[in-house]
Each structure stands twice: as C-alpha cells, then as structure tokens.
Structure 1
Amino acid sequence: MQPGKRLIGKVALVTGGASGIGAATARLFALHGASVVLTDSNATLGKAMEKEIVDTGGTATFATQDVRHEARWAEIVADAEKAYGRLDILCNIAGISGRDPKLNIQTSLTAGPRLADQTLEQWNWVMEINATGVFLGTKAAVPAMLRAGGGSIINISSICGIVGSHANAAYHASKGAVRIFSKAAAIQYARDKIRVNSVHPGFVDTPMTVPGHSNPDVARQRLEATPLGRFGTPDDIAAGCLYLASDDAAWVTGSELVIDGGMTAN
C-alpha cells in the first residue's frame, strides 16, 4: 500500500451521497483525488455536499436521482463520461430501512412492520430501492467501465444481508440480494477487470438509524451486541469503500467486507 492520495485520476459515482455513509464516501473519495459525481433524492443536501467538496479543493458535481428509474441511470452515467471522460468507480449506497419515514423514534425492536403485517407495497418499496437500484446502477456502469478498461463497483449491503434479526424482513431480503448479486456480477465481469464487492456495515450512526438509536432499549441492545462497544461512524464505512475503490484492492472481487465492530463474529 502506497502512502498519499489513492484515487488520483479516477472518476467515481456515489449514490446516496447527500448524507450518512454516502456523504462520507463522496468526501473521502474527493480528498483522495477522485472526481466525484454524487447523487441523491434530496437535492438540498446534495448541492450542499457538492459545495463542501468544491470549497475544500475537491472536484464534485451533484445530480438528483431516484435509483429505481433506469432511464435516469443512463443519463447520469452519460453525463459523468461527458464531464470527466470516463467512469472508474460506482458506489451503490442509496438505501432505506423500510421504517415509516414519519417515525422519529422506533417503538419496537423491529425497524418496520413485522412480516405478517407487511404489505406487498411496503415490500416492493424496499426491494426496488435497495436491490433493484443496485442492479440498475451496475447495469448502467458496466458499459462505461468496459470503455475505461475496468473499474470497481462497491455495493452497500449490511450485516442484515448475512444474519437474521428483528429488522424489517424486506430489508434483510434486499440486503441479502445485494450480497449474492455482487458475487454473480464479480464472476461475470472479472475477465473485463471490473471488480464487484459488497460492504456490510453493522450498527452505524446515520440519519437512517436515528429513530432506532433514539430508543434507549434498542440502542443498548445494539451496543451490547457489538464487541468494540460503540456504534460505527459513516467514516468507518467510507474507509472500507476507499480501499475497495483503490488499486490496493486490485485482486479483490466477489468479496464481503464486513465492518461491524465484531458483531457478526460474536
């Protein structure tokens, strides 16, 4: 591993880049020399993140995106190639928990409806953003990466894609889909020097987890299940994404990078 900036000359597309893990990843990629296209459904926060990166000497542009829409994916990838000449990295970070967006504090151990109470509409909502969005992003990025001579695709799954819990069953299913999809894509495109890996965060303090961590009982149980004794930060996960995006991970594909404070090892 060489010291210094690790993504010089690379172009990265980061979804969910307006806050949480996505924002930390976009910020870190730019710090390491990448030109970053960050997307999000929240234009206000997305534009603020673009300004922050540019104001601190980085290169970034923001685009509004709903990851469920295939045509928008094609536009964003085309715009990235037009602006920066290539696409080297895709981070599929945009995702949802499936919890009621109006719920400020989680009132039970289950982050969302229990399985028997879940509607097909709720199931589809989670699957479309968390799993189908990853498929569409990967599908859109591959041709551009072929033109660039290779690339790195990093798909954010979860420990919920590896083990079961009280979390929303649809969330588990979507994150499990991301895990196995990443392995299949890695095998399909290894000969083309396109690496595909999944990242599996544990309990991280982000805007998505605020309702759960605002409930003292939920927070306590999660901390007790984490051997390192603290919640993760977005920067903890961004550091893993930086490794997978960089040439330091040139022989890493089809892998699962678990960043969970030891939770799944316990």
Structure 2
Amino acid sequence: MSTSDAVTTQSPALSSEDRSARIAVTVFPLLILAAFAIAMITPDTFKPLAPGVNWALGVIMFGMGLTLTLPDFGLIVKRPLPVLVGVVAQYLIMPLVGWALCYVFGLPDAVAVGVILVGCAPGGTASNVISYLAKADVALSVTMTSISTLLAPLMTPLLTAWLVGNRMPVDGAAMDILLMVLAPVLGGFIVRFVAGKFVEKILPLLPWISVFGICYVLLVVVSGSVNKILTSGALIIAVVICHNLLGYLFG
C-alpha cells in the first residue's frame, strides 16, 4: 500500500461534538478536585447557592435528554437484557457491598446507616453525565436510571430496613428524584424530536454544561458539609472509595 493510500484510509476526523466531549472527559476530574478544594477553603461563599442545586440537576438532565433520539430507545427495546441486568445489579451489588463495608470498617451506627442507604439508593444524575461524557450508551444509562428510580419507593426502604434492621418511613424524596430525572430528560428528548436541526448545532456545548453543572452541585454540597467532612472525613472517604471501586469491580 502506498503512502498516499495510507493517508486516504485513515480514520475520519472526530466531529465537533466528539472533540468537545473528549476534552470534557479529560478535564472533568481536575475540575471536580478543584471544586472540592475551593468549597473546603471558602464554604460560606457557596452556601447561599443551595436553592439552585435542583435547578442545576434539572438543566443537566435536560441536556442529557437532548442527546437522545428515537432510534436510541429502539435499540433498548431490542436488547432488554442489559437493562434488566443493570437494574438488578444496582439493587443487589451496591447494598450488599455497603453492608459488608460497615462491618469491615466497624463504622458507627449513624455512619453505617448512611452508607447502606446510599447503596440502596437508585442510580442518579452523575451516572448519566459520566456515560454522556465518556461517549457511552446514554440511552441505556438513562433507561436504567429511570427504571431504578421508579422502583426506589419500594426497593430503597425495604432493602435499607432489611440490611439495617430497622424499618424506615417513606417520604416524598422518591418523587423528587422522579421529577428531577425523568421530567427534564423527557423534556430534552421532546425538544430534540421537535427541533432536531437546532439541537445538533449546540451539541458541542452540552458536555461543558454537564461538567460545570456537576461542579456547581459539588461546590454547594461540600460547602454545607465541611464540618462533617473534617470530623470523620478520612474514614468516610475511605469507605466511599471502597464502595465505588467494589461496585465497579463486581458490576
């Protein structure tokens, strides 16, 4: 094969959306670490921004919806097994791993309940964002998140009560999660369906909206929990890291 033939057979250049997403994936961890450090140093600066967290999550999920098209969900209908496996793993692996870590680390009761509760919670915004930034199967991620969220009012309290040993009351939090995830995603999906040509023009901006939206949420959450992080932060961070790593390993 000649040199000219080799040049002409090179892989096509990345689209502007792909290039933008690749850069966003690269800088995302650095921005997260920077946001955490800034929130720890100047927490009072970001505490007043707490009311905007739900709006930020809504914008992020709306952006996720803009990336979806009907063919995406057509593929999901044709291969339901990955969705089923993902949802079952969500409510099996993470709760049991959290329960095991509580015993391994000898966590106090209050912290142990929190770890188990997090393990029993459904998939959320961050998983969809990471799937989008990593150019993974966003439709599959959103579908799994949506189904696990719909099951959360039943599964989260039952699993937590079983693993903790005490029954928990069910409040309106599950409905908040439902609205926070499903409504914006559906809205974005409809906008993409109605105004597809316009949405395609702004697709390169969406990864950055997601990145900065997550950083905003992190700034607010960390700024409101500085004292707790400083008091038992090392132990909690170790447990959280183990929880996530083991979840990835077994998942």
TM-score by length of 2: 0.34
Larger strand proportion of the pair: 1
- Choose between structure 1 and 2: higher helix proportion: 2
